[in-house]
């Protein structure tokens, strides 16, 4: 379970996140939705402890991400922006490298890597060097890498960026499987349809603040818009009236 409470973070003069609070429960897929520059990535980066918040707190399964960084990191599997694989290593070696860094016992690494390779269906290219992999293949390997230690909480930053229809569909299936296994999945996107197709709960973020936090039907009711895209735009305008002009 991930809990974020009144998070603030600024870079110089730019207030990227201004008091974001929400909770993402186990066994649910929570979508972090917002336009570019809304503060989604900053919030996620605070959660996987790459950034330190100026104020406010965030906990992973009750573990504070600021005071107990290392323990918090051990509880998450994260897929930051872009895959970031090592091109000279094979897919299997990329995954095994992370498994070892997650401090898995040496004799369990191979089995765990094979298990996640089976789960994500990447046997076909598991022993090829990742140089020249397609975007979809790269994302799958990166996802496998972040799931190899079977984390309770999974953070995905715009995972479907650059994926084709087939790859997106298979990614969605994997995310649903995680949910069915009782994991807490938090993922960010700027595409309403994507979030709607997958999420149980949606947190709409705009201008560094939470505009709405509800189910899809709840968002339709709150904004009075049947069309999801209209609802999205209206929710954003509630906290950031200038959004339409600047967009």
Partner 1 sequence: MKTIITVFMKEVVDNFRDRRTLMSALLMGPLFGPILFAFVINLSLKQSLSNADESLDLPVIGSEHAPNLMSYLESNNIVIVDGPESRSAAIDGVANGEHDVVVLIPDTFGENLANMVPATIEVITDQANTQAERETRRATRALRSYGQELAAMRLTVRGVSPMIMRPLNVDEVDVSTPSGRSAILLGMLSYFFIFALLTGGMNLAIDSTAGERERGSLEPLLCLPVKRDHLIYGKILAACLFMAISLSLSLTCFHFTLKFMPLQELGMTPNFGPSVVLIAFLLLVPFALVGASLMTLVASFTKSFKEAQTWVSVVLLAPTMPILVVSILMVRPSTLLMFVPSLSQHLLLVGLIKNEPLNMLHVAVSVGATLIVGALLTWVCARLYRREGLLG
Find the binder of partner 1 among 146, 168, 189, 223 (CB under 8 A). Answer: 146
48 binds partner 1 (CB under 8 A): yes
The full length of the chain comes to 247
70 binds partner 1 (CB under 8 A): yes
Buried b / exposed e along 111-125 (16+ C-beta atoms within 10 A): ebbeebbeebebeeb
49 binds partner 1 (CB under 8 A): yes
Give the number of C-alpha atoms closer than 13 A to the C-alpha of residue 108, restricted to the C-beta side: 10
Cα angle, residue 30 at apex, residues 175 and 25 outer, rounded to 5°: 100
List, in order, residues 6 or more apart from 126 with CB less than 8 Å away.
90, 91, 92, 117
8 binds partner 1 (CB under 8 A): no
Which range binds partner 1 by CB under 8 A, 94-102, 178-186, 209-217, 229-237? Answer: 94-102
Nearer to partner 1, 73 or 183 (CB): 73
Strand pairing report for 14-24 and 28-33? unpaired
- Rounded to a whole number of angstroms, the minimum distance from the CB of residue 39 to partner 1 is 16
Find the binder of partner 1 among 13, 103, 107, 217 (CB under 8 A). Answer: 103
Nearer to partner 1, 12 or 224 (CB): 12
Cα 52 to chain centroid, rounded: 18
Find the binder of partner 1 among 7, 38, 60, 83 (CB under 8 A). Answer: 83
Nearer to partner 1, 65 or 204 (CB): 65
- Rounded to a whole number of angstroms, the minimum distance from the CB of residue 70 to partner 1 is 5
Q: Quick one: tokens of 241?
A: 């009236």
145 binds partner 1 (CB under 8 A): yes
Find the binder of partner 1 among 29, 38, 85, 233 (CB under 8 A). Answer: 85
Question: What is the rounded distance in angstroms from the CA atom of residue 77 to the CA atom of residue 22?
Answer: 19
Which residues on neighbouring strands pair with residue 154, listed in sequence order?
Answer: 77, 185
- Rounded to a whole number of angstroms, the minimum distance from the CB of residue 168 to partner 1 is 20
Which residues on neighbouring strands pair with residue 11, listed in sequence order?
Answer: 14
169 binds partner 1 (CB under 8 A): no
CA distances from 224 to 62, 122, 218, 233 (A): 36, 43, 10, 12
Which residues form the interface with partner 1 (CB under 8 A)? 45, 48-52, 70-71, 73-74, 76, 78-89, 93, 97-98, 100-103, 129, 142, 145-146
């Amino acid at each position: 379970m991930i809990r974020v409470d009144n998070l603030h973070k600024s870079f110089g003069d730019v207030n990227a996140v201004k008091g974001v609070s929400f909770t993402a429960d186990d066994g649910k897929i929570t979508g972090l939705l917002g336009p570019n520059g809304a503060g989604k990535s900053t919030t996620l980066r605070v959660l996987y402890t790459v950034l330190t918040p100026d104020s406010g707190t965030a906990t992973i399964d009750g573990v504070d991400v600021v005071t107990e960084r290392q323990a918090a990191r051990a509880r998450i599997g994260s897929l930051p922006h872009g895959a970031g694989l090592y091109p000279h290593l094979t897919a299997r070696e990329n995954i095994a490298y992370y498994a070892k860094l997650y401090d898995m016992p040496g004799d369990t690494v191979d089995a765990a890597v094979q298990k996640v390779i089976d789960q994500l269906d990447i046997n076909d290219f598991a022993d090829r060097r990742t140089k020249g992999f397609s975007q979809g293949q790269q994302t799958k390997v990166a996802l496998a890498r972040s799931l190899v230690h079977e984390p309770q909480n999974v953070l995905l930053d715009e995972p479907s960026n650059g994926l084709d229809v087939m790859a997106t569909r298979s990614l969605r299936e994997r995310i649903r499987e995680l949910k069915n296994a009782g994991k807490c999945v938090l993922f960010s996107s700027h595409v309403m349809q994507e979030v709607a197709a997958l999420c149980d709960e949606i947190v709409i973020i705009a201008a560094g603040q939470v505009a709405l936090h509800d189910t899809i039907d709840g968002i339709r009711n709150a904004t009075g818009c049947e069309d999801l895209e209209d609802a999205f735009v209206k929710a954003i305008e509630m906290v950031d009236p200038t959004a339409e002009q600047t967009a």
